[in-house]
Each structure stands twice: as C-alpha cells, then as structure tokens.
Structure 1
C-alpha cells in the first residue's frame, strides 16, 4: 500500500509541478529538443506511475533479506495476507482494474491514432500520384497551386511537397531553408513523437497535463525544425522564408497528418529567430537530460526496490554449505 500511495503521489506531483517547469517562457524554447523529451518523459512517467501503483495494489511487494526459498515464501505469504481480508481483495481488484484500464486505453488509442494517420497519408499519396509532379533535382513533389505551401508527409513513403506558388515566393536560399525544416521533421520522426502525445491526450481527455503536453509538443517540434534549418541556412534566412510561405497561403492544402512550414504560430517563431541564438549550454543540457532520465527511472526503482535488494543476495546457500562440509 505504501508503494502504491508513493507512486500515486509522485504522479500527482509531476502533473502539478511539471507544466510550470516547462512553461513556454522558460528554458524550453532555448532547447526545444530537450523540452520535447521532457514533455514525453513527464507524460509517460505519470502514466507508468499510476499503472505501477495499480500493479503494487494487486501484487504486494516484500522486503527480501535471504535466499530464493525465503523470497518465494515471503511473496506467497504477502499475497495470502492481503487477499485474506475483504479490504485486501477490494484493493487488489481495484489495482488490477486500474492497471489494465490504463494499459488497454493507451494501447487502443495509440493504435487507432496510428491507423488513422496511415489512412490519411495513403489517401493524400494517391492524390499526389495523380496531380503532383516529381522534381528529382530538389527531391520534392511539385503541386500546381497559387497558394504558397511547403509540407512533408512522414512515414515509410516520405515525401516533401512544394507548390508552384511557393516556388515563386521563395528564392533558392529560402527554399533550401524551408526544405531543411521539413527534412528535420522527417529525420527525427516528429510524427511518432506527436502521435504519442496526441494519443495520451485522446485516451485521457480529463487529464489536463496530457492535453498541454500534446499542444506544447506540436509547438516545440516546429521550433526544433526551425533550429535545424537555421544551422544550415542561418536564422534570418529561415525567418524570411517562413514569412514568405505564410504570406502566400492559408495552410488548407496540407493534410492534418503533414508538417507544414507556415501556418499558425509563424509570427512567434519568426520573432524567436530574429535575435542571436541563445542556446541553453552544455552543462544545463546535460543536467536536463539527467533529469529526464531520472523521471523515467524513479517509478521503476520505487516498485522494483525489493527486487533490486534481493539481487545482491546469495540464492544458492546449499551449494556453499556442501563445499564447506565436504571432507
């Protein structure tokens, strides 16, 4: 019971304190890749903590200080003791329902979201096959439209789409910058990252931190792609390219499963690119990476502490005894 309450308290603390530590006006915009990982770790850790709490209620943990036989006896006695009372049975049943419900809901929504994305991509690929024109030199598909749009379709059949309106609005340097932005989305598999965040928000709509994580992840992956493009073409070039794309289109051409260079939030992204780059720094980045790893590891350590303690003990005392007593 203590382990379960500790895990539930940990999940509640993360849900309340996490969004404040990752607010947009903090360090997150200076290190979007680390911030993306932090939001993912925060969401997964909350989910795992609650699921492990249910598991701890179903199967009580024991403290082991002996051999393997004592380990098994302790486990059996703890389970018998818990399920000998109506309260223990109720707690175990509630824990099992909680763990299975979280697992089933998460897997179901994630599978449904991935299937929907695959279906929409396949539909848009068929449209591009009919009306698009391949440009092998640039590695893009050109779509005849007066609207200025550049977007990419992730997945196994990756494609970057550029409209004729965008080709007219952008010079060669700006076009390279926008294409570098889209290539960053594809190379870093931002579709899977955003898919997980949106799946959790869809699975548990009443949990506000999951909705916030999905919104912030969508925003941060655009900042990350901007930084990747700026490393190649320069920050001011990327800012000018984003403005040119946004000024010439409404964003209606790109499907919901694509990553478009322009669209909502372009103005704030451009303002971020205009000042000189102010990175977080190696020391702070390393500390942040350690904190992300600690978020994920702590629930497992809380639940698996007894097992970790038992791992250092001798599980075969009989063999030692036989050696010492042999003539």
Structure 2
C-alpha cells in the first residue's frame, strides 16, 4: 500500500506542480530540443507512475527465483494472503481498475489518432497529387495560390509544399530557410512528438501536465526547426522568411512555419542569441532522466528487498508473505 500511495502522490504532484514551474520557461526557448525532451519525460513519468500505482495495489511483490515451481508457489501464497481479507481484495480490485483504465484509455486514444492521421494524410496527398506541381529541383510540391504559405506533410510519403505566393515573396536565401525549417520537422519526426502529446491530452484532458505539455511542445518544435534553419541561413534571414509566410494557412495534419507563435519566434530570432550553457543542458538532461527513473526506483526498492525473503520455508505461515501493499 505504501508503494502505491507514493507513486500516486508522485503522479499527482508531477501533474499539477510541474506545469506551473515550467510553463513558458525561458531556458526552454534557448534549448528547445532539451525542452521537448523534458516535457516528454515528465508526461511519460506521470503516466508510468499511475500505471505502476495500480499494479502495486493489484500484484504483491514475490521473491524472484530461477526455480519456476518455487516462484509459482511464492506467487500463489502472496496472492492468497493479499486477497484473503476484504480490504486486500478491494485494494487489489481498485488497483487493477486504475492500471487498466489508464492503459486502456491511452491505447484507445492512440489507436484513434493513428487511424485519423493516416486517413487525413492520405486524403491530403491525393489532393496534392491532383492540384500540385512537383518541383524536382527544390524537392517540393508547388501549389498555385496567392497566399504565401509553406508546410510539410509528414509520414512515409512525405511532401514539402510551397505556394506560388511564397515563391514570389521570398528571395533565394529566405526560401532556403523556409525549406530547411520544414525539412527539420521531417528529419526529427516532430509529427510523432506532437501526436503523442495530443494523445495524452485527449486521453486525460483534465490533467494540467498533459494539456500544457502539448501547447509547450507545439511551440518548442517550431523553435527547434527555426534553429535548424537559422544555422543554415542565418537568424535574420530566417526571421524575414518567417515574416513573409507568417499569415499562411496549412492543413491541420501538416506542420507549418506559420502559426500563432510566429511573432514570438521572429522576436526570438532577432534578439541576441544566448545558447544554454553546457552545465544547464546537463542539468536538464539529468532532470528528464530522474523523472523517468523515479517510478521504477519506487517499485524497484521493495521488489529488490523481496528477493531476499524466503516465502516458502517449511512450516512458515502464509501471513509472513511480504506484499507491496
């Protein structure tokens, strides 16, 4: 019971306090890729802790043994002891419901997202094949439209799309910056990063961590793509290119250089570049690693201790079975 309570409390605190502390953090804008990793790690840690809390209530700790018969006997004794009392049975049932509900809801929303995204991408590819003109020299699909816009359609049959309005509005260096931005989205699979964040939000919309993480990750993946483009074309050139296509619209299934964050991103590119120090990058990486490890360590401590317990000595009553509760 103690392990389950610790895991549940950890998940609750992480889901409520972390967004307040990290939302809009300036350090993340200076190292957007690290910021993405931290937000992903926090979400995965909270989800893992909730599932393990349910399992800790449901399944007692048993001694690990190479002897299969001894291991099975220990499992039977531990389970019998746990479910012998009404309180133990109720706790086990509650834990099973919690673990299955969290996993089931997550998998259901993930399955729905995969089906929807594949359908929308296929439909938009079919439209592009009908109305777009391939530009093999640039590796893009050109759409005849006066509105300056550029976006990428991710996936196995990826496309980078640009309108004739954007081709007229951008000079060669700015066009290269826009294309580098879109190719960075594709190369670093930002579509998968965003899709997973959206899955957690759709599965648990009332959890502040998942809801805020989705918005922060959406902002940071654009900044990360901006940085890739700036490294190739220069920060001012990239800022000018973003301004030129900032008002462009893109389908929901695509990733675009425009959007509601464009103004803030342009200011960020114009301001003096201050990369995050190596020390702070290491600290952020360790924070992500610790967040992922905490649920496993909380469970692993009692489990490791249980390996030293003899569950099946001659004449030992079942009441001596140690459980995770």
TM-score (norm 2): 0.90
8 Å contact 1:22–1:35 — kept in the other structure? Answer: no
How big is the shift at 1:312? 8.8
For residue 126 of structure 1, give the secondary structure of its aligned residue in structure 2: helix
Q: Structure 2 unaligned runs (5+)?
A: 310-325
For residue 134 of structure 1, give the secondary structure of its aligned residue in structure 2: strand
8 Å contact 2:58–2:96 — kept in the other structure? Answer: yes
For residues 277 and 228 of structure 2, what CA distance do their matches in structure 1 show? 17
In structure 2, do the counterparts of structure 1 residues 296 and 29 end up closer, same or farther at CA, with 3 Å as the change threshold? same
Question: 1:253-312: CA deviations, max 9, x gaps?
Answer: x21010111121111111111112111121211121121111111111211224445679
For residues 76 and 148 of structure 1, what CA distance do their matches in structure 2 show? 68
Structure 1 match to 2:194: 194
Structure 2 match to 1:54: 54
For residues 34 and 139 of structure 2, what CA distance do their matches in structure 1 show? 30
Question: 1:115-151: CA deviations, max 9, x gaps?
Answer: 1111111111001101100001100000000010000
8 Å contact 1:61–1:303 — kept in the other structure? Answer: no
The reply on whether 1:284 has 2:283 as its aligned counterpart is no
Question: 1:43-64: CA deviations, max 9, x gaps?
Answer: 11111101110000000225x5
8 Å contact 2:131–2:143 — kept in the other structure? Answer: yes
How big is the shift at 1:230? 0.8
How big is the shift at 1:72? 5.7
Structure 1 match to 2:109: 109
For residue 152 of structure 1, give the secondary structure of its aligned residue in structure 2: strand
For residues 115 and 282 of structure 1, what CA distance do their matches in structure 2 show? 41
Equivalent residue pairs, number: 309
CA RMSD after TM alignment: 2.1
For residues 86 and 307 of structure 2, what CA distance do their matches in structure 1 show? 33
For residues 219 and 294 of structure 2, what CA distance do their matches in structure 1 show? 28
Mapping of 1:311-322 within 5 angstroms? none
Q: 2:264 aligns with which of 259, 264, 268?
A: 268
How big is the shift at 1:31? 1.0
Mapping of 1:1-327 within 5 angstroms? 1-61=1-61, 74-246=74-246, 249-251=247-249, 254-309=250-305
Out of 20-29 and 84-93, give the one that drifted further: 20-29
For residue 119 of structure 1, give the secondary structure of its aligned residue in structure 2: helix
For residues 134 and 284 of structure 1, what CA distance do their matches in structure 2 show? 44
For residues 308 and 145 of structure 2, what CA distance do their matches in structure 1 show? 67
8 Å contact 1:54–1:97 — kept in the other structure? Answer: yes
For residue 227 of structure 1, give the secondary structure of its aligned residue in structure 2: helix
For residue 48 of structure 1, give the secondary structure of its aligned residue in structure 2: helix
Query: Larger relative CO (CA 8 A, sep 6+): 1 or 2?
Result: 2
Structure 2 match to 1:316: none
8 Å contact 2:150–2:248 — kept in the other structure? Answer: no
For residues 174 and 80 of structure 2, what CA distance do their matches in structure 1 show? 69
Question: 1:36-87: CA deviations, max 9, x gaps?
Answer: 111111111111101110000000225x599968766554433222100111
For residues 60 and 293 of structure 1, what CA distance do their matches in structure 2 show? 27
For residues 227 and 295 of structure 1, what CA distance do their matches in structure 2 show? 27
